[in-house]
Structure 1
Amino acid sequence: MSTFPARFGIWALVHGSRAALQDPDEPYDASWARNRALVLDAERLGYDSVLVAQHTINPHDPNLDQLEAWTTSAALAALTSRIEIIAAIKPYLYHPVVLAKMAQQIEHISGGRFALNLVNAWNRPELERAGIGFAEHDARYAYGREWITVVDKLLRGERTSFAAEHFHIDDYQLRPADPFRARPRIYVGGESEPARALVADAGDVWFINGQPLDDVTALIADVSQRPRPNGAPPLRFGLSAFAIARESDALAADHLAHLFALAAKDAPLRAQQKQNIDPKAVMFQTFAQTPRVGSNGGTAAGLVGSYDTVAERIVAFRRAGIELFMLQFQPFEADMQRFAEEVIPRVRALEHATI
């Protein structure tokens, strides 16, 4: 079992509902006002983290609203007092010097509660239509490796010179340095071989997409045995999951069926999205193997059932090494509260009983 206490986080609704976009009980809303209220509620309910995914245009439909990640994260840093704020970053969208300065500033605003989530992009139009270009899969990871090397050094307050294929940094240093810790926490996503190598070398926490327990256990075993940089602590692990917790397994199954029916209405959008995806992205190859609702693996992690069932499955993932559960819900606000009140206390009690 992970030696760290279980943590629970939520995905900000940066592009609306996570399971189905045409839900009469949850109208499409990716506004700042909704996300502000959502994150403040999550903090009040005891959630530990919020992940703000980065897109400049909506990945489902460019005509739909899309919240911007980094300005949102800065605002949330000023409004909250306890919750960790994780902003995703696609390296091609920001020069590492600029991004490091932004991250350092949000770290100060938050009082040491900021983290960045390195993702190497899968939505082709977002980069191509901006004239940036969409490099081949492994080339994106090579670029990301250089990029995070520069960012890491700058976040640590080091005077940095760096020369490689993509970046040439000459005696650069950012001030003020981080007064709270060595640097903000770095999460890394992706499950391809380049992604696994990158997280072992440069990450603090590996974000694993929602999938069955046996698959997650195998992923953790593979990456855990890889060497870490000298002085780096052991890698920690997070899991994305769409949770449906109800009074009984049957009621949870009914709600899952309801969401599958709603999600079917989004089939044309999903087909368009599929055309925009890099076919080498392991995430989407994995998703195709298991029917699910929700993004980033969604219900494939199996957190669907009674309060007791979901709590027991979470503890099973904890035994495999998962520390942070980054959760999605629909209806989001109501189920987020239900989970905090019914499932999290059961998880704490089960873990306490095993100590």
Structure 2
Amino acid sequence: MSFIRFGIWAPVHGPRAAAQDPAEPYDASWEHNRATVLEAEALGYDSTLVAQHTANPRFAERDQLEAWASSAALAALTSRIEIIAAIKPALYHPVVLAKMALQIEEISRGRFALNLVNAWNRAEFERAGLPFLEHDERYAYGAEWLWIVERLLRGETVDHRGRHFTVEGYRLAPAGRFRPRPRIYLGGESEPARDLAAAQSDVWFINGQPLPAVATLIQDAKARPRRGAGLRFGLAAFVIARETEAEAQAEHRRLVALAELDRPDKAAQRAHADSKVVMLQTMAKHAFVGTNGGTAAGLVGSYDQVAERIWAFHQAGVELFMLQFQPLRAEMRRFAEEVFPRVGRAAPLAPLLSGAK
């Protein structure tokens, strides 16, 4: 069994559960993201996921952190935490993106990863005059795109003539200075996504869902054709952990009530979404707060209950738990102090907790 890793979603577009929470004013600034990731590293978190949106998917007038420029800056400021930048293939030519990835790999000295995601927000593309391909065609495009990127990341010379790209004698350097290539994550739960994850990624990100559903997805992925080392698994989840289950459920009810205030913005977001995206279909089956399944994973309860559920997911095959909290930094500290020790991780240093804002 692999080691449990914990990560946090960077606050690239503000709070994950409710945008009108008095305990966490909306803040998607570079300053807030930098402080959050630096604190997460100090607390012992292993990874941070920097989601990619060129425009805010929910609040058109509000801030939205740019993922790749910010990931490069975070790579320079940090020393241990893994920096995972999401990427929508249609926004960058594979040669350009591979060079950006290798540069951040150099800056971070081998701590960079990319997370390929199939875009769901039609408006983000169409308002910029960019083509928004049909769902399965986006994955076919992404598979060809990733085939080129993966080889360039390894420092190979790439000659490729395909449906979408022609690349002749291209090689990027430096490459392979710290490891064979950066790690590749993939998100998405449709049939094409599962095939692509099994064939071409290192880690498959699963959206927050109850344990039986997650276990079924993992077994399905393991049964698909694959070369090389086995596929590993990550899970998105929103955590509410307290001394007692009653306290956790009370906080959950508070966030549910606040999330209702965002209903008009969520409706506008759904209007721009591709109805064929399986993530949205799956999430419609569950009541939850957060994004990407959020509390549907069931990490709401006492410290002991949350730790036990994490172990159950881990035994099913989940290695990396990519976590959301609200208010983010206070709850991130609470989780590190109370849940880390319960799953065999070292607790953070008390001076850091008491002195942090």
Aligned length: 345
Establish whether residue 345 from structure 1 lines up as the match of residue 341 from structure 2. Answer: yes
In 2, the alpha carbon distance for the partners of 1:22 and 1:329 equals: 15
1:98 aligns with: 96
Q: Give 2:326's aligned amino acid.
A: Q
Q: Give 1:98's aligned amino acid.
A: V
In 1, the alpha carbon distance for the partners of 2:130 and 2:279 equals: 23
Deviations 1:58-105 (A, max 9, x none): 010211110000000000000000000000000011000000000000
Establish whether residue 275 from structure 1 lines up as the match of residue 271 from structure 2. Answer: yes
Q: Note if contact 1:210-1:240 (Cα within 8 Å) is conserved in structure 2.
A: yes
Establish whether residue 249 from structure 1 lines up as the match of residue 250 from structure 2. Answer: no
1:228 aligns with: 226
Q: CA deviation at 1:178?
A: 2.1
Alpha-carbon RMSD: 0.6
Unaligned runs of 5+ in 2: 346-357
1:142 aligns with: 140
Q: Say which SS state the counterpart of residue 165 (structure 1) adopts.
A: coil
Q: Give 1:293's aligned amino acid.
A: V
Q: Say which SS state the counterpart of residue 61 (structure 1) adopts.
A: coil
1:353 aligns with: none
Question: TM-score scaled by structure 2?
Answer: 0.96
Q: Give 2:79's aligned amino acid.
A: S
Q: CA deviation at 1:146?
A: 0.5
Q: Say which SS state the counterpart of residue 324 (structure 1) adopts.
A: strand
1:352 aligns with: none
Deviations 1:172-223 (A, max 9, x none): 0001112111100000000000000000110000000000000000000000
2:128 aligns with: 130
Which of these residues, 309, 316, 320, is aligned with residue 313 of structure 1? Answer: 309
**Structure 1 runs, 4 residues or longer, greater than 3 Å off:** none
In 1, the alpha carbon distance for the partners of 2:188 and 2:161 equals: 26
Q: CA deviation at 1:24?
A: 1.0
Q: Note if contact 1:108-1:178 (Cα within 8 Å) is conserved in structure 2.
A: no
Q: Say which SS state the counterpart of residue 204 (structure 2) adopts.
A: strand
Question: TM-score scaled by structure 1?
Answer: 0.97
Identity of aligned residues (%): 67
In 1, the alpha carbon distance for the partners of 2:27 and 2:222 equals: 39
Q: Note if contact 1:15-1:65 (Cα within 8 Å) is conserved in structure 2.
A: yes
1:26 aligns with: 24
Which of these residues, 11, 14, 22, is aligned with residue 12 of structure 2? Answer: 14
In 2, the alpha carbon distance for the partners of 1:84 and 1:207 equals: 15
Establish whether residue 73 from structure 1 lines up as the match of residue 71 from structure 2. Answer: yes
In 1, the alpha carbon distance for the partners of 2:64 and 2:37 equals: 17
Q: Note if contact 1:243-1:327 (Cα within 8 Å) is conserved in structure 2.
A: yes
Which of these residues, 222, 247, 258, is aligned with residue 254 of structure 2? Answer: 258
